[in-house]
Structure 1
Amino acid sequence: MGRADQGADWALLSRIYLNAKVYTGTARYTDAITYCNKIIESGQYALMSHYSWLFMGDNSQGNKEFILPIVYQNNNEVNWGGTNWLVLGPAGVTELINGLSGSWNEFRFTQSIPKLFPSFDTTIDKRALFYTEGQTLEATTITNQTNGFSSYKFRNINRDGSAITQNNTFGNIADIDFPIFRLPEIYLTYAESVLRGGSGGNVTTALGYINQLRGRAYANDPSSKEGNITAAALTTDFVLDEKAREMYWEAQRRTDLIRYDRLTTDTYLWDWKGGSLAGNAVSSKYNLFPIPTADLLANPNLKNTNY
């Protein structure tokens, strides 16, 4: 884990306050904006120019975007989880692309995330790091590893294309740091909180933050006007979609869908949700994870509703 400094504390508070209505029943969007402002106005953080560089083996170099990372170095942190899991797990992705040998050929997307992008490659939006060769968009058969696109978002190579030096006996360990918090989440939290009625911010500033993300995505330049949207287009639904485009595979989506009441309901469906190809609603109990068996055995009084 990287050093958890004051910025990390503020980022955690902004995330908690964004979700406060789910947790406590009381909205705290003004507080979320307060802590977003503290991070942004500190001047300690800035967007990296190229989106893809954020998820490469040398992503610790010149990176002012990460507020708090989990640090992985192949000579110290040797395990088969972490960013190794994100490099080796995607179906079909080869060593020539991801920098590690022996793909596990497992993880794929449902259609919902790729369809949020203007194309399935990086010709327009450079965040669309989908692996499509030999893969179908629709996952008609769950057990068929060629059903569903995968991703090469996390790659264990240097940004100049050179190989990462392996300093361990295994010779196949990722050097990629994983972001717990990074600046785009703060921009997106600010925008959503403003749109949900929080005080201390405004739509004009929120729009500027969103367009910085899109400028980088479309032109490797946060100041570019490519990809810009208008204030009329900036809605809470747009922010949800933009967060998916910016932060897929960064452990954010489930929490976002719960906050929007879309994880379990039929207002948002994806392939095989609820066990059917077209998708269907499921019990709201799944907004909470089940309590692990070991904990239930240790304390029979523990219980989540409807489990």
Structure 2
Amino acid sequence: MDLSSSPLGTSMDAYRINQYAALGLLSKLYLNAEVYTGTPKYTEAAIAAGYVIDNGGYMLSDSSVTVPNAGKRPAVASDPDNLEGYAALFAPNNQNNPEMIWSIAYDNVTGGGMNFAQMSLHYSSQFTWNIANQPWNGYAALEEFYNSYDAADSRKKANFIVGPQLDYEGSAILDYAASGDLALDYIPAIDELYPNSSRKAGARLGKFSFRQGQVDNMDNDYPIIRLGDLYLIRAEGNARAAGNWSLALTDVNTIRARAGVSAMSTVTADAFLAERGREMFMEVTRRQDLIRFGQWGSSWWEKTNSDAYRTVFPIPQEQITASNGSLTQNPGY
């Protein structure tokens, strides 16, 4: 791939689009080209992703990459002093992570808009991180997905918050509005959805981890293009282009090695999709992944099957009106 005439540079600044960010974005488009246009571009996806992997100078955030744990409670011995590897990649102080190719610079003063702490944590988890405003007790992970991680998978510990919750001083947090045991203990099982679900049900979302003194707007930079994703794009592109999923093994096992889990000896399309889900959780790729693998319309917990036309969004009526007849609504809407 000759990029010698590109006006984009190669400086590794994750807040500016360089040649590698452009190629990473292109690899994502190529990977989904068959869905978008009907013409597969899997070889091109693998080549674009591979070029960045081989030439970009980026590295996976492995055990050699550490940052101070901004959420550490001095009175809680189980809180590590530092976050490393995968956990460091999504920490509040992740701005210099070597895996980031293109990212959004969220900041609690000048770059607001990320509020996962508010959206996921129980009200009383305010006392764990000294959060300025009480969280909303919202989003939780599906139990089946949580259980799909191997117990030794470092991503499981980084991605989810489970178990008895302690405050900044190490004391048990109580939920005085709960029935039965008042101790706040996040359990992976979710009994049901609103309005009668347990207040402590569901593993909470901790991938983009929190800091002490957390405010509504978080500081964690959010990846748009990162190296781990490109390994998986190269893996899938090579496998789909050749019709042979074993060609994905090398790159998949590179990602699994970073997570501290054993290498796969064989891989199928379904196993690859599951591994991609474990790696890319909370990084807004799942919808397009499920569509590409033909599973978007399937049923899962509390979701019935959906019609095929829903793989395409409706066109806003305002845009149809403004088009003077050149746009018509997508079928089914």
TM-score by length of 2: 0.73
Alpha-carbon separation, structure 1, partners of 2:160 and 2:216? 23
**Which secondary structure does the structure 2 equivalent of 1:181 belong to?**
strand
**Which residue is equivalent to 2:303?**
273
Quote the Cα distance in structure 1 between the aligned partners of 2:92 and 2:289: 28
1:189 aligns with 2:236: no
Query: Deviation of residue 234 (structure 1)?
Result: 2.2
How far the C-alpha of 1:136 sits from its partner, in A, is 4.6
Q: Tell me which residue corresponds to 1:287.
A: 311
User: Could you tell me which amino acid in structure 2 is paired with residue 52 of structure 1?
Assistant: A
Task: Output the CA distance in 2 between the equivalents of 1:284 and 1:112.
Answer: 24
What is the 5 A alignment of 1:41-80?
41-49=54-62, 50-61=85-96, 63-78=97-112
Deviation, structure 1 residue 172: 4.3
Match of 1:29 among 30, 37, 42: 42
Structure 1 window deviating more from structure 2 (256-265 vs 42-51): it is: 42-51
Which residue does the alignment assign to 1:90?
A: 120
Q: How much has 1:295 moved relative to structure 2?
A: 3.0
Report how many aligned residue pairs link the two structures.
Answer: 268
Deviations, residues 181-222 of structure 1 (Å, cap 9, x unaligned):
1111111111111211259x9956x4332222112212xxxx
Any idea what SS the aligned residue of 1:179 has? strand
Once the two structures are superposed, residues 103-146 of structure 1 have per-residue CA deviations (whole angstroms, 9 ceiling, x without a partner) of 12111222342132124xxxx11111322333452342344354
Q: By how many angstroms is 1:99 displaced?
A: 6.6
Deviations along 1:262-307, one digit per CA (max 9) or x if unpaired, are: 0113xxx311112xxxxxx211111112223443454574301111
Conserved 8 A contact 1:141-1:147: no
Kindly indicate whether residue 218 of structure 2 is the aligned counterpart of residue 174 of structure 1: yes
Q: What SS does the corresponding residue of 1:68 show, helix, strand or coil?
A: strand
Q: Larger Cα Rg: Structure 1 or Structure 2?
A: 2
Q: What SS does structure 1 have at the residue aligned with 2:252?
A: helix
* 1:56 CA displacement: 1.0
Change (3 A) 1:304 1:139: farther
Report the CA distance shift for 1:148/1:238 in structure 2 as closer, same or farther (over 3 A).
Answer: same
Equivalent pair of 1:97/1:155 in contact (CA under 8 Å): no
The amino acid across from 2:287 in the alignment is: R
Q: List aligned pairs for 1:1-307, cutoff 5 A.
A: 2-49=15-62, 50-61=85-96, 63-78=97-112, 81=113, 83-84=114-115, 86-92=116-122, 94-95=125-126, 100-101=131-132, 102-119=134-151, 124-128=152-156, 129-132=159-162, 133-143=185-195, 144=197, 145-157=199-211, 163=212, 172-198=216-242, 206-218=248-260, 226-230=261-265, 233-265=266-298, 269-274=299-304, 281-299=305-323, 301-307=327-333
* One-letter amino acid of the counterpart of residue 74, structure 1: N
Q: d(CA) in 2 for partners of 1:24 and 1:154?
A: 34
Distance of aligned partners of 1:25 and 1:108 in 2 relative to their CA distance in 1, 3 Å threshold? same
Secondary structure in structure 1 of the residue aligned to 2:330: coil
Q: Give the 3 Å change call, closer, same or farther, for CA 39–96 of structure 1 in structure 2.
A: farther
SS in structure 2 of the partner of residue 193 of structure 1? helix
Cα separation, 2, equivalents of 1:89 and 1:260: 29
Specify the code of the residue in structure 2 equivalent to 1:260.
F
Query: Against the structure 1 CA distance between its residues 58 and 151, is the aligned structure 2 distance closer, same or farther, given a 3 Å change threshold?
Result: same
Deviation at 1:96, TM superposition (A): 5.7
Measure, in 2, the Cα distance between the counterparts of 1:142 and 1:44: 47
Separation (CA, whole Å) in 1 of partners of 2:320 and 2:145: 35
User: CA contact under 8 A between 1:65 and 1:183: conserved in structure 2?
Assistant: yes
Gaps in structure 2 of 5+ consecutive residues: 1-13, 63-84, 163-184
Residues 111, 271 of structure 1: 8 Å contact kept: no
Separation in 2, partners of 1:292, 1:209: 40
Instruction: Tell me if structure 1 keeps the 8 A contact 2:142–2:188.
Output: no
What percent identity do the matched residue pairs reach? 31
Q: Could you say what secondary structure the match of 1:67 adopts?
A: strand
Q: Deviations over 1:158-192 (max 9, x none)?
A: xxxxx47x8xxxx5431110001111111111111
